[in-house]
Amino acid sequence: MHCPHCGTPLPDGAVFCGTCGLKIESPVPTKMPVVTVREDAIPAKVPTESTNFRQNAPLQPKPPRAKRGLAMPILCICLAAVLIASVVINVFQWMQSGDLQTAVDEKTQTIDKLNQEIDNKSATINEQNLTIVDQEATIQEQSSKLWFYEEYVVVVPDDGSELYHTYGCDHFDDSYFWAFNLAAAEQKGYTPCPYCQ
């Protein structure tokens, strides 16, 4: 068998050419030529069995390694990119969760302060409501007194007019006066003011 590229004789079953390195795809067995040896062509010294045939044979180069595809490096790069992206996303989420927790804590403190202010304002409102109730009772009492004075009391100024007035009349001189109940003022001969009566 011979190399189809450089013609170097190859041993049967060889996969690569020892001279040019060509890969032999399917070795084709060749017919050995029949050689007639004449007796006078036999060399004087015949190699003995101890002679190492491999020492005299040309060295065959190692067959070239098959080229590795790019699939493995690309896969490794993709896995590394996914891993890095995962780490970055996790760190980002962790940082955001810390920021969110800080914001939640601040809002909680603000809500607590506002609740405290609401409680204080509610207490103040309750106190003011009690004060309003007291004031309303006082106003009711004063209103009753005012109604009594408006209904039954008249004032007579010491101006010689002989008129009696209700409190607040614009024609009433309050520098010096007498206060009577209505029946007593009429009994004494005082007449009602034409403006306030």
Helices (H) and strands (E) in the chain, counts: 3, 4
Q: What is the pLDDT of residue 166?
A: 87
Per-residue buried b or exposed e for 158-170, using 16+ beta carbons within 10 Å of the residue's own CB: eeeeebbbbeebe
Q: Return the ∠ at Cα 163 (arms to 157 and 165), rounded to 5°.
A: 70
Rounded distance between C-alpha atoms, residue 10 and residue 17, angstroms: 7
Q: Determine the pLDDT at residue 40.
A: 61
Q: Tell me, rounded to whole angstroms, the distance of Cα 190 from its chain centroid.
A: 89
* H/E element, 181: strand 177-181
SS3 per-residue string spanning 44-92: CCCCCCCCCHHHHCCCCCCCCCCCCCCHHHHHHHHHHHHHHHHHHHHHH
The structure's pTM equals 0.35
Give, in order, the Cα–Cα distances in Å from 29 to each of 6, 18, 98: 17, 17, 77
Residue 52 is predicted with a pLDDT of 47
Per-residue pLDDT of the chain (197 residues; tens, 9 = 90+): 788 888 888 888 888 888 888 888 764 455 555 556 566 655 555 555 544 445 455 556 666 665 566 788 888 999 999 999 999 998 888 888 877 888 888 999 999 999 999 999 999 999 999 999 999 999 999 998 888 888 889 999 988 889 998 888 888 888 888 899 988 989 999 999 998 87
Provide the β-strand partners of residue 172: none
Spell out the residues 6+ positions from residue 13 whose beta carbon is closer than 8 angstroms to its own: 27
